[in-house]
Amino acid sequence: MSIEAVVPPGRDVRIAKGQGALEAKREDWAATHEIYKLDADGPYVHPPDRFNVHFEVEVAQKSIGRKMNLREISTCTVEEGKIAREEFFMMPK
C-alpha cells in the first residue's frame, strides 16, 4: 500500500493498493515528470519493522513544464521481508 501526502495532479486518489497499482503509480509518475535531481538520505531504521528515507527532488511536470522542488519523508513498514506500506509526508519548503 502506498499513501501519498496529497492527491497527485491528474489522479483522483491518494492510496494505491496492490502490486499492480503500485507499479502503475510509479510508471505514471516517471512518464509525466522530468527528473532533474533526486537525492535520497537514509534509511533511518526504526525497529522492529519500519524505516524512513528523506527525499529531495527537482522535477518538472511534462504537461505544463512547471518545475517543482519537493521534499518528502517516506515511512516504510516491512512485513515478511518486503515493504508492505509506504507513506509520504511533504516537508515545508
Task: Give me the DSSP letters along 8-74.
Answer: PTT-S-SEE-SHHHHHHHHHHHHHHEEEEEEEEEEEEEETTTEEEEEEEEEEEETTTTEEEEEEEEE
- pTM (two decimals): 0.76
pLDDT class of 12 with cuts at 50, 70, 90:
low
Average pLDDT, integer, range 28-39: 91
**Considering its fold, how many domains does the chain have in total?**
1
The CATH number assigned to the domain holding 58 equals: 3.10.450.50
Instruction: State the pLDDT at residue 74.
Output: 93
Instruction: State the pLDDT at residue 28.
Output: 84
Instruction: State the pLDDT at residue 1.
Output: 66
pLDDT class of 38 with cuts at 50, 70, 90:
very high
Q: Which three cell numbers stand for residue 71?
A: 521534499
Instruction: State the pLDDT at residue 50.
Output: 97
Range of the domain at 48: 2-90
